[in-house]
Structure formats: C-alpha cells, structure tokens
Amino acid sequence: MTRCAISAAACGNAHVKAILATGDLKTLRNVARASLVCMMAGADFIKTSTGKEGVNATLAVTLAMLRMIRAYQERTGFKVGYKPAGGISAAKDVLNYQFLMKEELGRAWLEPELFRVGASSLLADIERQLEHHVTGRYSAFNRHPVG
C-alpha cells in the first residue's frame, strides 16, 4: 500500500479529511474497506460521518477504523488521524473514544494532530460540567448557546 501522491499534491499544505457515512455503510467490513480506500487516496484524517446520517460515531465503527489506521501505518509509515463525529453529546462519552484510541494506536494518537472530536453539542455538556464543578449544580441546557 502507498499513499496517493496525486491527492497530496493537489492539496498542497492543506490536510485531506475524508468523511465516511459510516451509518450508511451497513457493515464493519465495509467501514474498514472504505477507511483503507480513503487512506490510500491520501487522506490525512478519516472521520465517521457528517452527523446527518441516522447512525454516526459508535465504538464498534471506531474500532474498525482504528484497526485500519494501524494496519495502514504499519505498512506505509504514514500516521493518519481519526475524528469520531455525530452522536457524541456527553463529555463522559469522549473518554471511551480516548481510551479506545490509546489502546489501539498509542499515546501519540491522543494529540490534536491525530485525534479530534466532532461534536458541536458536546460543548454545552462541557460547559455544564464546568459549572457543576464550580457551583455544585448543573445548569439547564437552554442556558448554553449550543444546547
């Protein structure tokens, strides 16, 4: 396997992020295959979805994608980043993705260059968690702009 030089050359210094509609791919085998195709085409990041599908980021899909990232890196030497997106709305859920990322790929993949979380609704929960830490109470979601 090799990285697609055409895709990388066309993008210049910009990073290529491939978005897979993982909920529409139906099987984990299809998710794994699509992940590999995207990486071979030059993706610097692969992402679970746009957030518009019925099923978005799940731990099972994440595991399939991370294992393909690992296999690709072992064969090519290129590190490809991962971004779970859609359906992640609680700060505690992000921990599961971080644990899985570290266990499958190692500590280096917890850095922003290789791991990001796409969850606009997550911001409201983080704000609520911080407010609870300070005041001892959770505020209503409607007090936060994204909630």
How many separate helices (H) and strands (E) can be counted in the chain? 5, 3
pTM value is 0.82
Rounded to an integer, what distance in angstroms lies between the CA atom of residue 84 and that of residue 57?
A: 5
Token pair 């609520």 is found at 128
| Closest C-alpha to 132, from 121, 143, 118 | 143
pLDDT at position 147, please?
46
Confidence class for position 51, pLDDT limits 50, 70, 90: low
For each of the domains in the chain, give its residue range(s) and CATH number, in order of start. Answer: 5-119 (3.20.20.70)
| Closest C-alpha to 98, from 56, 57, 131 | 57
pLDDT at position 98, please?
94
pLDDT tens profile 4-22: 555 556 667 778 889 998 8
